[in-house]
């Protein structure tokens, strides 16, 4: 069975395949939230965004990922930093919301499940977001074919701008469609096409 390239780095605490800096859009919008607001990080990986929020004093950060290695690492890093993150192993295709969130974030994850699954996830997440709350979602689109490192797993790449239509009843504060160059150990430089949306529930 194929194992995604990021799993090796999830086993160790000093290698970060996806970097250690939080996503810049999260940094841009964090000021709109109270430290006690409920936040959900979907496909959190080894947790650069959740850890950033917890270290900034956010006290109600939930985070899940399908990778046990990722969650174990995130919990170790949270312990070392003396911050609290409620992190658990879960599959976003099966996830059932049990609380209402003020902020839902997901970076680089949704395209790893079938389109019907991530579209359903977004629908559920919208219903379980407080009025005034935000979603910040970044996912890959098929404007550029999946690079060999992710091709076996990227089974649900979005069409360009598809995600906008899912938020047509929310206020779309920011939308970006862009192509960027990426590189990982053992994989030649390659391109990804991406959409990133920041949307606010207005009613
Ligand atoms: C490219 S990584 C991004 C990690 C993190 N969001 C970040 O920005 O560093 C994608 C993550 O999605 C997770 N993932 C893939 N399929 C998933 C699923 N069905 N449910 C939850 N997480 C999933 C992977 O385990 C991986 O950690």
Q: Whose CA is nearest to atom 13 of ligand 1?
A: 43
The finding on whether 113 has its CB within 6 A of some atom of ligand 1 is yes
Q: Does pLDDT of 186 surpass 80?
A: no
Q: Containing domain of residue 153, as a range?
A: 117-203
What is the pLDDT, as a whole number, of residue 168? 98
The finding on whether 154 has its CB within 6 A of some atom of ligand 1 is no
By the 8 A CB rule, do 89 and 66 touch?
A: yes
Tokens of residue 151, six digits? 């091709």
Q: Does pLDDT of 42 surpass 70?
A: yes
Q: Is 122 inside any structural domain?
A: yes
Q: What is the average pLDDT across 125-139?
A: 98
CA of 65 to the centre of ligand 1 (A): 6
Q: Is 11 inside any structural domain?
A: no
For the segment 60-85, what is each residue's pLDDT rounded down to a tens digit? 999 999 999 999 999 999 999 999 99
What is the pLDDT, as a whole number, of residue 187? 78
Q: Is 22 inside any structural domain?
A: no
Q: Is 178 inside any structural domain?
A: yes
Q: Is 80 inside any structural domain?
A: no
The finding on whether 133 has its CB within 6 A of some atom of ligand 1 is no
Q: Does pLDDT of 1 surpass 90?
A: no
Q: What is the average pLDDT across 102-130?
A: 98
Query: What domain count does the chain have?
Result: 1
Confidence band, pLDDT 50/70/90 cuts, at residue 91: very high
Q: Provide the CATH number for the domain around residue 129.
A: 3.40.50.150
> Ligand 1 pocket test: which of 65, 87, 88 has the largest number of ligand atoms within 8 Å of its C-beta?
65
Share of the chain above pLDDT 90, in %: 92
> Ligand 1 pocket test: which of 45, 119, 149, 184 has the largest number of ligand atoms within 8 Å of its C-beta?
45
Mean pLDDT, the chain, as a whole number?
96
- Which of 13-27, 34-48, 89-103, 180-194 has the weakest average pLDDT? 180-194
CA of 63 to the centre of ligand 1 (A): 11
For the segment 144-173, what is each residue's pLDDT rounded down to a tens digit? 999 988 999 999 999 999 999 999 999 999
Q: Is 35 inside any structural domain?
A: no
The finding on whether 112 has its CB within 6 A of some atom of ligand 1 is yes
Q: Is 91 inside any structural domain?
A: no
Cα separation, 18 vs 120, whole angstroms: 26
Share of the chain above pLDDT 70, in %: 100
Q: What is the average pLDDT across 163-188?
A: 93
Q: What is the average pLDDT across 23-37?
A: 98
What is the pLDDT, as a whole number, of residue 114? 98
Q: Is 43 inside any structural domain?
A: no
Tokens of residue 115, six digits? 């389109």
Q: Does pLDDT of 109 surpass 60?
A: yes
The finding on whether 153 has its CB within 6 A of some atom of ligand 1 is no
Neighbours of 112 (CB within 10 A): 20
Confidence band, pLDDT 50/70/90 cuts, at residue 2: confident
The finding on whether 156 has its CB within 6 A of some atom of ligand 1 is no
Q: Whose CA is nearest to atom 8 of ligand 1?
A: 107
């Amino acid at each position: 069975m194929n194992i995604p390239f990021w799993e090796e780095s999830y086993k160790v605490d000093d290698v970060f395949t996806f970097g250690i800096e939080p996503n810049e859009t999260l940094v841009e919008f964090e000021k709109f939230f109270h430290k006690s607001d409920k936040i959900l990080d979907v496909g959190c990986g080894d947790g650069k965004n959740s850890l950033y929020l917890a270290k900034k004093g956010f006290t109600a950060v939930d985070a899940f990922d399908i990778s046990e290695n990722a969650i174990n690492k995130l919990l170790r890093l949270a312990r070392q930093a003396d911050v609290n993150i409620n992190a658990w192993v879960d599959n976003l295709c099966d996830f059932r919301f049990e609380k209402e969130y003020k902020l839902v974030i997901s970076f680089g994850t949704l395209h790893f499940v079938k389109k019907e699954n991530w579209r359903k996830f977004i629908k559920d997440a919208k219903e379980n977001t407080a009025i005034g709350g935000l979603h910040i979602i970044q996912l890959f689109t098929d404007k550029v074919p999946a690079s060999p490192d992710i091709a076996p797993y990227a089974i649900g790449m979005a069409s360009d701008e598809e995600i906008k239509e899912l938020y047509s009843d929310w206020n779309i504060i920011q939308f970006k469609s862009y192509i960027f160059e990426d590189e990982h150990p053992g994989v030649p430089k390659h391109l990804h096409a991406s959409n990133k949306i920041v949307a606010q529930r207005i009613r």
